[in-house]
Structure 1
């Protein structure tokens, strides 16, 4: 497990000043892949707020982990807070992320409740019973990763993007959607093997644990994505006392997400 934090191991991006949003990408993603697909419109994020993005351990341009345990979500939550601390972010943070980044944020809020002012959970991953049903799939992915590596998996996945994203999103972003694979292309066989083995061990906090998180939370989900089912988002909405849920049914709905994220952060800054 990670025993000592070294910021030089992490690729980070920081802009703006004020209330800090610490943002974490999804599994096999990166800052580069988020920018390539163009859903987030980070260039429009208010400059009166501080935005800190980083490539998670083993992802993008950050250093690889030493063992499978480094990719467990509670461990990655420690990294998230350490990144914020290094940049002297205010004591009360907004934490957010997509899929794996959701889980990272939730575990960080559980471990450091005094530091977290708000949460943004974008397309929460499979969890609880539905995740247990996919454990074998993650082990198969680990095996495939040992054979094909990041570039090989990216080439295969490029033919099946409709299994990774809603078909209506793929259709709307035909010219940029392959960018979602940019992070995967950079990853080695060894890193992917450890990452997918960790994915088989990972799960969201229990609903009882979630009930203790009394922090304003924005949940953003979309339909028609098996890896990020709406049911997970609905259960999170039920479990988190101060949460609001928005479900996207079309690209027009998703295009409104950058505004929802910005407004959420601005409102927390003013409170």
Structure 2
């Protein structure tokens, strides 16, 4: 577990000034892979807001973790708040993230509710009973990672997109969807092993804790993704009092997400 925060361990990107949105990518992702996909359109994010993006520990160009515990979501939440505090006013944060990043946001908001003005949860991951049923799968992936490494797993995933993403999304972004694997290709066997063993231990906070979150929350999900089932998003919407839910079923609806994120941040 990280004993002392060191900003030099993290690859960060900071643009704009004003109200801060700090954004966390998903598992095996990175700043580079998000840009390669083209789904987020960060280049259109309002310049009068500050956008902080970073590669999580062991991802992209950030330093690798030392042990499994460094990849647990509460620890990632500590990293998020430390990075945000380093670059911005800590009492005026909007936290946002995709998949693993959205889980990071929830733990950070629960630990530092007085610092958080809003939450953006994109594609929340499997949680609670559904996640418990996948523990064995995460251990299998960890074993495969020790054998094949990041490049090997990327080749395998490239042949099985239909099991990873909705078909309508693949068709709509067929020229850029392979960019999702850019982050995975860079990851070492040891990092992936620790990451997926941590995935077997990770879960979202319990529902009683989440019900205590009162800040405005934007939840974004899409149909047809087993790793990010809409059931998680629907339950989060029911639990978090001041939340709004958008569920996409087409590429046109997903293409509206960057504007929804910008509008949400500007309102705050």
1:35 matched to 2:40? The reply is no
Corresponding residue of 1:250: 250
Corresponding residue of 2:150: 150
Q: For 1:135-174, what aligned pairs fall within 5 Å after superposition?
A: 135-174=135-174
1:207 matched to 2:212? The reply is no
CA contact (8 A) 1:13 1:54 kept: yes
What is the TM-score normalised by the length of structure 1?
0.98
Any idea what SS the aligned residue of 2:18 has? coil
Corresponding residue of 2:63: 63
C-alpha RMSD over aligned residues: 0.6
1:132 matched to 2:132? The reply is yes
What is the CA–CA distance in structure 2 between the aligned matches of 1:11 and 1:48, rounded to whole Å? 23
CA deviation profile, 1:149-194 (whole Å, cap 9, x unmatched): 0000001101111211111100111111000000000000000000
What is the CA–CA distance in structure 1 between the aligned matches of 2:2 and 2:68, rounded to whole Å? 11
Any idea what SS the aligned residue of 1:245 has? strand
Q: For 1:14-25, what aligned pairs fall within 5 Å after superposition?
A: 14-25=14-25
What is the CA–CA distance in structure 1 between the aligned matches of 2:99 and 2:220, rounded to whole Å? 10
CA contact (8 A) 1:68 1:198 kept: yes
1:115 matched to 2:109? The reply is no
Corresponding residue of 2:241: 241
Count of residues paired in the alignment:
268
What is the CA–CA distance in structure 2 between the aligned matches of 1:16 and 1:91, rounded to whole Å? 18
Between stretches 133-142 and 81-90, larger displacement belongs to: 81-90
Q: 1:202, CA displacement in angstroms?
A: 0.1
What is the CA–CA distance in structure 2 between the aligned matches of 1:260 and 1:253, rounded to whole Å? 10
Corresponding residue of 2:6: 6
CA contact (8 A) 1:19 1:90 kept: no
Q: 1:88, CA displacement in angstroms?
A: 2.8
Q: 1:89, CA displacement in angstroms?
A: 3.3
The 4+ residue runs of structure 1 with deviation greater than 2 A are none
CA contact (8 A) 2:72 2:201 kept: yes
